[in-house]
Amino acid sequence: MITPGAGALPALVNLLQFLSTVKEAEEDQVWARVLDKLAAALDCEAATYFVFLPKQTHLVARATLGSAGRKVGSLPIETGQGICGWVAKYREPVLASDAYSDPRFLKRIDEETGFKTSHVLAVPLLDRLELGGVIELINKRTGPFTEADLAFVQAACSACSTALRALRLESTVDKVTAHNASILDNLGGGFVAVDIHGRVMLCNPAAKKILGLHEDLPMNQPVDATLIMIPDMAEILMDTLVKKETVKRQDLWWKQKGQSRVLGYSTLLIQDPRGQVVGAGVTFQDITSFQKKA
């Protein structure tokens, strides 16, 4: 059983607290902070965060710690070359207690930087099966890296990858939601949608105007309570949801302030990415004037 060092748990907690404060997926900046925290926790002489560039099939240093950092940043490393390149190629971590006796070690980096590498810990940065880069820690001052150190670094990097993935997803959802909201807000016709439980999820400005609803209409309320002035529309939505059948170009007669009105409407089913029905919607126009002409 691998037992983390005494400082590993506080360091991991500190890292998780940092990740909880990150609001934007600025990956290079986040990984640079993570690199700094890992190097401090393990008391390393040097450390590098490499980003993987798939089109060029090589690694480029985006954040470095240690005296040779600037020179390392100008030396792209091909996938498969050196310890970090091997990690990138095979998506496996490396613990090297004697770098110069490891055939994977790229001596030219030390030769060009003047730095002396003794021992190395390197891990791939994976988002599921997608390689984002490599973190390499060099020369722990208290001695070679251990399996416990590796477990700590892997846990920290996994937590960071998960946090960044969540931020990317949240950003994408926000953009899609804003785009869809903009479309709905600018529709000339009305649109009302309910969730699988029959609660109103969406009611665009045109729908509120056509139906005479308040601009600050609360959402997430039962549709029959929200559309109390036009119960037939609430029934249409619930019927669509239960039967999972849609209609097109139907007429709905109703009265608004004592006057007969006619809505032309169509219904639709709302599905999730797996094709499961998660709600129903109705689009409509006030066609009273056209009916009178007819």
pLDDT tens for each residue of 126-153: 987 889 999 999 999 999 999 999 999 9
pLDDT surpassing 70 at residue 91: yes
CB-side exposure of 8: number of CA atoms within 13 Å?
17
Tell me which residue has tokens 């401090």.
Answer: 40
Helix (H, G, I), strand (E, B), or coil: what is residue 175? helix
Q: Token pair of 49, please?
A: 């965060």
Dihedral, CA of residue 103, residue 157, residue 144 and residue 67, to nearest 10: 80
* pLDDT-wise least confident of 6-15, 186-195, 225-234: 6-15
Q: Token pair of 150, please?
A: 């590796």
Q: Token pair of 275, please?
A: 């094709």
**Mean pLDDT to the nearest integer, 221-242:** 94
pLDDT at site 39: 92
pLDDT at site 253: 92
Query: pLDDT digits over 49-85, tens only?
Result: 999 998 888 999 999 998 665 556 567 889 999 999 9
pLDDT surpassing 90 at residue 2: no
pLDDT bin (cut points 50, 70, 90) of residue 186 is confident
Q: List the one residue out of 32, 4, 14 whose CA is nearest residue 135.
A: 32
Q: List the one residue out of 163, 188, 227 whose CA is nearest residue 20.
A: 163
Kindly report the number of other CB atoms within 10 A of residue 164's CB atom. 22
pLDDT at site 9: 64
> What span, in angstroms and rounded, lies between the C-alpha atoms of 283 and 264?
8
Q: How many percent of the chain have pLDDT more than 70? A: 87
Chain-centre distance for alpha carbon 256: 45
> What span, in angstroms and rounded, lies between the C-alpha atoms of 64 and 69?
5
Burial letters for 113-151: b for 16+ Cβ neighbours within 10 Å, e otherwise? bebebebbbbbbbeeeeebbbbbbbbbbeeeebbeebbe
| Strands (DSSP E) found in the chain | 44-53, 58-65, 77-78, 94-96, 120-127, 130-140, 190-195, 200-203, 250-256, 259-271, 277-286
pLDDT surpassing 80 at residue 175: no
pLDDT at site 138: 95
pTM of the model: 0.60
pLDDT at site 217: 86
What letter would DSSP give residue 97? S
pLDDT surpassing 50 at residue 1: no
Kindly report the number of other CB atoms within 10 A of residue 291's CB atom. 14
What letter would DSSP give residue 100? G
pLDDT bin (cut points 50, 70, 90) of residue 293 is very low
**Mean pLDDT to the nearest integer, 241-267:** 92
pLDDT at site 109: 80
pLDDT bin (cut points 50, 70, 90) of residue 19 is confident
Alpha helices, H only, the chain: 8-21, 27-42, 69-73, 82-90, 107-113, 147-185, 205-211, 223-226, 231-243, 288-293
The answer to whether the beta carbons of residues 35 and 133 sit under 8 Å apart is no
Better-scored residue on pLDDT, 12 or 221? 221
